[in-house]
Amino acid sequence: MMNLAITGLGAISPIGLSAAELGDNLLAGVIGIRAAPWAIDGDPARGGLYGAVDDRFDPHDWMNDRVVAGTDGFARFALAASAQAVADAGLDPAGLDAERTAVVHGTSMGGHFALSRAQWDYDRAGAGAVDPKTQIKIWPNMAAAQIAMAHDLHGPSMTVTTACASSLDALGTAALYLEAGMADVALVGATEGGYARDGDQAHFHAAINAAEAGYGMSSGQLDPTRAMLPFAVDRVGIVSGEGSAFFVLETAEHAAARRAPVKAWLRGYASLADAHHPSSPEPDGRWEELVMTKAQASAGVAAADVDALVAHATGTPKGDSAEIRALNRVFEGPSKVVVTGLKGHTAHTGAASGAMNIMAGIRAMSGGRLVNVAGTTKLDSEINFDVALGEPRTVDVEVCQVNSFGFGGQNASVIVTRSGPGAAS
């Protein structure tokens, strides 16, 4: 059974530039989906929708010009979110124990925009037009590396890339470091990013948008409030988003020694392979069911103890169907669980989505209100569990479960609790 303290939160998202803003705007029903910059004349019907980070984000608020010039957007988001988490935890950024602090970061695509921009520049104007810093921008480990350099950290530094499960797997990996005695503190989170901004003309994400549409993943909806419909009977697909979410994770002893307020406790984690198809889960959801029950066993809780579950809930026909079937079986019989999902608010933020889900659960623990699923009005008839629709639900959340299921059959689930060991068992 894990017993690790979450003491700091930070977020850069389509609906807020801090964890507090993210939580406030989720509860206020704010939708971060909008017309993409490559839409002709701003018309989503002629280019599509996306979930970009709030336009107020300025990397210069968080790093110097040299770092800005040497990083892709995903690393900039991660630097900002991790700095917020350190401050929120009440830690001195210059006083972190260099050899006892780990950095664990998850990302699906790393510096994809920097790479595509470099190729576009090369094709347009030749080798001389290519940014000489391209190499240090594109590698997926560069966000973790930049965070370590920002704080002069020399403990474990690890990058996890398990698609949409990356943030939960990053958290689980960080927990293993702490439990093994390799670190006392971990800066852990996940990021997706790199949309065209600041006058860039390459607009790489337009290619991803086109690929999603061609593969049958894109919702094709033009109304941002109906673009992603988790668990809806009329769900049709996703809208891609970006952002970063970070935690400070500490051993219980380290948090107690500095008398740190604990926002939540990481109590359980499980990860396994679906091993069915590159993009579709096993239709009956049996592996998603198994990862949920393994996470509960890891935490020493039963399904009946779970008060809230923040689902992966992509709003895709196949993805949601498998998760619905898994949830029906895990929570069959008497159950108090209330289920929700964030993607109708934020779009699908890829690797960062699971970490944002945890933040929604932690917010419900402290405030007693669980965000509702945005957009969805009529649930899939197969659902046998309680889903928060219409408005935030008043729920006393002691135990929260969070799911993340990624391409390639990457299944992960975690349990976080409001109180330490003993209160939720």
pLDDT at residue number 206: 73
Q: Which domain holds residue 287?
A: 267-417
If asked whether residues 368 and 253 sit together in one domain, one would say: no
pLDDT higher at 194 or 262:
262
Report pLDDT for 66. Answer: 96
pLDDT at 425: 39
For the entire predicted model, the pTM comes to: 0.94
* Band of residue 205 on the pLDDT scale cut at 50, 70, 90: low
Q: Over range 77-96, report the average pLDDT.
A: 96
Q: What's the pLDDT at 31?
A: 97
Which ranges of 249-371 would DSSP assign to H, the alpha helix? 252-257, 286-299, 317-330, 343-346, 353-367
What is the chain's mean pLDDT, rounded? Answer: 92
pLDDT tens, residue by residue, 330-351: 999 889 999 999 999 999 999 9
In a domain, residue 424? The reply is: no
Does 262 map to a domain? no
| pLDDT at residue 423, as a whole number | 47
Q: Which of 230, 257, 284 is the last residue of a domain?
A: 257
Q: DSSP secondary-structure letter at 42?
A: G
pLDDT of residue 236: 87
What pLDDT, on a 0 to 100 scale, did the predictor assign at position 200?
53
| 282 lies in the same domain as 344 | yes
Whether residue 160 is contained in a domain is answered as yes
In a shared domain, residues 271 and 367? yes
Q: Are residues 201 and 280 in the same domain?
A: no
Residue 90's alpha-carbon distances to 57, 250, 358, in angstroms, are 23, 12, 20
Q: Is 423 part of a structural domain of the chain? A: no
Residues 40 and 172 in one domain: yes
Q: Which helix (H) or strand (E) holds 263?
A: none
Q: Is residue 92 part of a domain?
A: yes
- Same structural domain for residues 91 and 225? yes
CB-CB neighbours of 228 under 10 Å: 35
Considering the domain architecture, whether residues 239 and 296 belong to the same structural domain is answered as no
Q: Are 278 and 191 in a shared domain?
A: no
Inside any domain, residue 425: no
Give per-residue pLDDT as tens, 154-197: 999 999 999 999 999 999 999 999 999 999 999 999 999 866 55
Q: Are 279 and 407 in contact (CB under 8 A)?
A: yes
- pLDDT value, residue 364: 98
Residues 226, 320, single domain; the answer is no
Say if residue 132 is in the same domain as residue 160: yes
Give me the amino acid identity at 273: A
What single letter denotes the amino acid at residue 258? R
Domain contains 199? yes
Handedness of CA 138, 141, 142, 144 (dihedral sign): positive
Do residue 232 and residue 344 come from a single domain?
Answer: no
Cα separation, 382 vs 294, whole angstroms: 24
Query: If you average pLDDT over residues 217-239, what whole number do you get?
Result: 87
* Domain-terminating residue out of 257, 280, 296: 257
Distance CA 230, CA 251 (A): 35
Residue 111 lies in a domain: yes
Q: Tell me what the mean pLDDT of segment 63-86 comes to.
A: 96
Determine the average pLDDT of the residues in 123-142. 95
Among candidate residues 257, 292, 325, the one where a domain is terminated: 257
The pair of three-digit structure tokens given for residue 254, joined into one six-digit string: 């380290």
Q: Which residue has the higher pLDDT, 48 or 39?
A: 48
Say yes or no: 214 and 91 in one domain.
Answer: yes
The CATH number that applies at residue 410 is 3.40.47.10
Tokens of 291: 């990862």
Quickly state the pLDDT bin for 45 (edges 50, 70, 90): low
Residue 26 has pLDDT above 80, yes or no: yes
Tell me what pLDDT residue 207 has. Answer: 73
Total domains, the chain: 2
**For 152-236, where are the alpha helices, taking DSSP H only?**
166-179, 205-214
